[in-house]
Amino acid sequence: DGGITQSPKYLFRKEGQNVTLSCEQNLNHDAMYWYRQDPGQGLRLIYYSQIVNDFQKGDIAEGYSVSREKKESFPLTVTSAQKNPTAFYLCASSIDFQGNENTEAFFGQGTRLTVV
């Protein structure tokens, strides 16, 4: 079955440590996204990638980094520079970039990151 997989589901990190969240899709989608979700708020875009080896900052990119070396993979690194990293992180993909008619986004199950 095609889909998008995030791992791990829960992650605990000590302050000052970097941590990498995994996101893999086998839908053959060009576009991939990372969102952060905090309680009572909508999804906020961290980074997005429209094609392999290219990615762009979203609204809240500070303290995060990404790579897109393969079409299927879009890992997110939460660095120690991120002041408030505890949140629910969602990865998504779509066949084309946002705004076009066929840009239904498929989401992973999310990673809940807690800084201890």
Partner 1 sequence: QQPVQSPQAVILREGEDAVINCSSSKALYSVHWYRQKHGEAPVFLMILLKGGEQKGHEKISASFNEKKQQSSLYLTASQLSYSGTYFCGTVMDSNYQLIWGAGTKLIIKP
The smaller minimum CB distance to partner 1, of residues 15 and 101, is found at 101
Nearest to 18 by CA among 75, 99, 59: 75
Rg (CA), the chain: 13
Instruction: Look at residue 6 and give its three-state secondary structure.
Output: strand
Q: Residues near 50 by Cβ (< 8 Å), separated by ≥ 6?
A: 30, 31, 56, 97
Site for partner 1 in 21-80 (CB under 8 A): 35, 40-45, 58
Q: Looking at 17-25, 60-68, 70-78, 98-106, which segment touches partner 1 (CB under 8 A)?
A: 98-106
* Pairing status of strand 31-37 against strand 43-51: antiparallel
The smaller minimum CB distance to partner 1, of residues 37 and 79, is found at 37
Given 2, 54, 101, 116, the residue binding partner 1 (CB under 8 A): 101
Nearest to 89 by CA among 30, 26, 47: 47
Minimum distance between the CB of residue 80 and partner 1, rounded to whole angstroms? 27
Minimum distance between the CB of residue 66 and partner 1, rounded to whole angstroms? 16
By the criterion CB under 8 A, which residues form the site for partner 1? Answer: 35, 40-45, 58, 90, 97-99, 101, 103-110
